[in-house]
Structure 1
Amino acid sequence: MDYLEKVMALIAMSGAARSKAMEAIMLSKQKDFKGAAELLETASKELKDAHKVQTRLIQEEAGGTKQEITLLMIHAQDHLMNAMTVKDMAKEFVELYEHTQKN
């Protein structure tokens, strides 16, 4: 996988993870907590894969392979950080909806 492919993979995987996290919130609002948990698990797997790509890029740079910092790479990093935050917040929302349904 070349540099551009890695950057695009970061964007794609992060976007998919964010979408799954948002879907999990929607399912929990509909009281589908099992479905929400499954979507959060899928989001976590997507983020884990994205993080592996990011780690590979960091290791390459640390090993002496310098890459140009492009707007696309900044966009990819932004997507990854945003997806991680949304997934963490979605987990909290799902737990909150589940807790309020039990009471």
Structure 2
Amino acid sequence: MDDAQLEIIMPLIMYGGEAKSNAIEAIAAAKVGDFDKAQEKLDAAGKAIVEAHHGQTDLLTKAANGEEVPLNIYMVHAQDHLMTGIAFVDLAKEIVELYKVIN
């Protein structure tokens, strides 16, 4: 793996993890009734997902242009972080809404 690939893969890992962390913090804020903070954290999580998608789009574009994009454990790990982050954000949105109904 070269430095160019690493520069794309590492942000996927970082932003995917950031999205997940913000989603968890959104749920915690909603649990105590702080819905403004919950929304702030959901917004931050959404921005992190968008940033991660930029890296993923770069990889897909390279592959579409015929460049070899080797599959390795870092790539698998990066995609896992991104998909986990997306799932957490989607679930956090629903859980925050449920807390609003309960309160």
| TM-score normalised per structure 2 | 0.95
What is the correspondence of 1:30-69 to structure 2 with a 5 Å cutoff? 30-69=32-71
Q: Over the residues paired in the alignment, what is the CA RMSD in angstroms?
A: 1.0
2:102 corresponds to 1:100: yes
> In structure 2, how many angstroms separate the alpha carbons of the residues matched to 1:76 and 1:91?
23
Identity, % of aligned positions: 43
Residue 46 of structure 1: SS of its match in structure 2? helix
What secondary structure does 1:17 align onto? helix
Structure 1: segments with no counterpart, 5+ residues: none
Deviation at 1:76, TM superposition (A): 0.4
Does 2:82 align with 1:80?
yes
1:5-44 → structure 2 map (5 Å cutoff): 5-44=7-46
TM-score (norm 1): 0.95
Aligned length: 101
1:32 partner letter: D
